[in-house]
Amino acid sequence: MGTHTVRREVLGPWSLDTSREFWEGFTPAALTAEQRHGTLSTVFRVDADWSTARVTVTQRDKVAELSLDGDGDLEAAAEQAARFLALDVDARQWPGVGERDEVIGRAQQALPGLRPCGFHSAYEAAAWAVLSQRIRVEQAAHLRRRVIADHGDGGAFPAPERLAGLDLDLPGRKAEYLHAVADAALDGRLDTGRLRSMTPEGAMDSIRSITGIGPFAAELIVLRGANAPDAAPTHERRLAGEVERLYGPDRSLDEVSELWRPFRTWASVHLRALAELRTE
């Protein structure tokens, strides 16, 4: 078991506490361990070598301190953690989006320093996309926790090699689709860094060949799994409803999201998070 500590400057607005509170309400992969003010801790599967790692992140003004332990490539784990916490994004232009669009400006004020936390990896996002098909989110979250408890290690989702060989008792074709996701991960088609290096549209097209992955799932994998910061989701009905409510029935997501570049994903997440706050 090794340890590794990385300190990196975070460019642009950032509040670890706001981001952690957002993730705590992120049902697909919510934080489960007790968290402390000013820190965030989570266990995840490192997609460079499929080892298990734990990261504890501490905010020290504009510097993120990432302390990792695990038995694999901890340098790769640190880069992955920065990616799923959106700490790798230069967000110095993000306040300007709120200046151009007062709706986003209000969301930024309500959620100061929020950086959209995503799934630990594109692989885990793909697995969630399969588990959540045609069932309620709460039911899918229960299935995910069961798979981790029965077949994971150290609290991390099962590695793809293990997942590919499991005889899972799941509804419908979910077991078949999970095996396809595992095979794709082993083939490198769900490599998070690779997907992030592509355009969001190109990345989505590249994973549509995976059995069980449709347009909605492909968006989820790229925007919340690879955590790509600049694409407007086109298959989220609730987001479209928020745009209509906040901007008027004559405005489309394609139109208003032009003001959000180069942070269209971030703006979309802020609108969804603001809607959740409103309904609490």
Quote the CA–CA distance of 123 and 210 in Å, as a whole number: 12
**Confidence check: pLDDT of 27 > 70:** no
Arch. (CATH architecture) of 122-225: Orthogonal Bundle (1.10)
- pLDDT of amino acid 37: 74
Quote the CA–CA distance of 176 and 102 in Å, as a whole number: 46
For residue range 79-91, list pLDDT tens digits in order. Answer: 999 999 999 999 9
Domains of the chain, residue spans: 2-110, 122-225
Quote the CA–CA distance of 256 and 98 in Å, as a whole number: 12
Rg (CA), the chain: 18
- pLDDT of amino acid 1: 82
Average model confidence (pLDDT) for the chain? 93
Percent of the chain residues topping a pLDDT of 70: 96
CATH class name, domain 2-110? alpha beta
On whether the CB atoms of residues 130 and 106 are closer than 8 A, the answer is no
Name which of 44, 48, 108, 43 is nearest 73 in CA terms: 48
Quote the CA–CA distance of 167 and 234 in Å, as a whole number: 34
Q: Model-level pTM?
A: 0.94
For residue range 98-110, list pLDDT tens digits in order. Answer: 999 999 999 999 9
Confidence of residue 275 (pLDDT cuts 50, 70, 90): confident
For residue range 146-177, list pLDDT tens digits in order. Answer: 999 999 988 999 999 999 999 999 999 999 99
**Confidence check: pLDDT of 62 > 60:** yes
Residue 193 DSSP SS3: helix
Mean pLDDT of 116-139: 94
- pLDDT of amino acid 249: 92
